[in-house]
Structure 1
Amino acid sequence: MEAKKTPKADVNKRSTMFIMVGLIVSLGITLMAFEYKKYDEGELMDLGMADDDFEELTEIPPTEQPPPPPPPVKQPQIIEIPDEEEIEEEIEIDLDVEITEETEVEEIVFEEEPEEEEADKVFLIVEEDAEFPGGMGEWNKFLRKNLKYPRQAKRMGIEGNVYLSFIVGKDGGIYDISVSRSIGGGCDEEAVRVLKASPKWKPGKQRGKAVIQRMNLRVVFRLK
């Protein structure tokens, strides 16, 4: 037969609660032990005001220094230059020369410098053109008398104008004849032959002097 206990006499009933309370109390004591600090009072703990033994400092106002004087400006020097300066030149005159009534003063003659001879050059335009003796009327008469119509040009029915270029020298001679426009059929050669056979021409003049001039001439060939 089991022995029966009353509920009030049961010790194990509240053991769990006592354990928890004991743990809480021990934990609180442990924390308090770690957080507790003790401060010892030392000699440097007195932070009272120290005696002020320093003399009162006087405030020194800043001194203002005047700016340095500007550098001196050099004034330009004006020099007057006269428009016309008189140049004094000493001229020595020999007064020891005896001048009598018979003494003749030689005239001073200024010799003209000789004109530079201009090299012979060919003019195209001059003041007075070269021309056949007697003018163009006499030239046309000379052509009608001396010009012969080439047979080949007659056979082929060639007619027209032959233009010649030539030079009239200072002496009126005819030089350097060339055909500048040709019609063929022997007409060019005939025109050159007649011009070479012409008498000397009157030369061209520039400033009153005979010069060399290049000229152009037309010779007309017409069938009757």
Structure 2
Amino acid sequence: MELRKNPKIDLERKRNAFFNIGLATSLMLVISAFEWRFYGDGGLVNLGEIDDDFEEIMEIPQTLQPPPPPPVVVLPKIVEVPDEEEIEEDVKSIIDVEINEDDTFEDPIFDEPLPPEIVEEVLIFVESMPEPIGGMSTFYKHVAKQMKYPNQARRMGIEGKVYVQFVIDKNGKLTEVQAIKGIGAGCDEEAVRVIKNAPDWSPGKQRGQPVKVRMILPVTFKLG
């Protein structure tokens, strides 16, 4: 048996109307709640009748201080000095030299300027580079024989290379020896000492003439 709804009592048809009525009612209630003013049982409060117990604050007048007196300006006294003033001095001549026409005078001698100091140029690359006498192998053998491993570096286990820079002069002497990159712990100083005490080299030559040449060599420190 099929159930049928009575169209007269079908509330689904009026759902939109009920929704709009409820929405309007809610909106009116919200507006009324915001517009409602509550003053309590006593009504309006007259703020003019409140008795205050605040202490009267006395206004302290501002003390007027007179301005300091202006500084006294002392003008310098200008004394007029006459432009032409005769100064009487008793000047006596102390020159008592007789000069004859036959007398001759020598021209003054001035010190001659010193010649400019010639600074020899230190080269890096030349036609014939300097070499140790006996070759590089002999030089490194001398370095290994003379070098003493520093105790501090040995205790700390420090190993590495110390790069030593030096200049070979025209006579083959090793000069201006210095460590430019080291490992510390006494190794730098030991490498410089050994290079300074190294034997002479064959000097470098440029166009057949001996010249100064700057070189850099590594000195290796390695624990055995």
Please indicate the TM-score interval, normalised by the length of the shorter structure: 0.3 to 0.5
Structure 2 length normalisation: TM-score?
A: 0.46
Structure 1 length normalisation: TM-score?
A: 0.46
Q: Point out the structure with max Rg over C-alpha.
A: 1
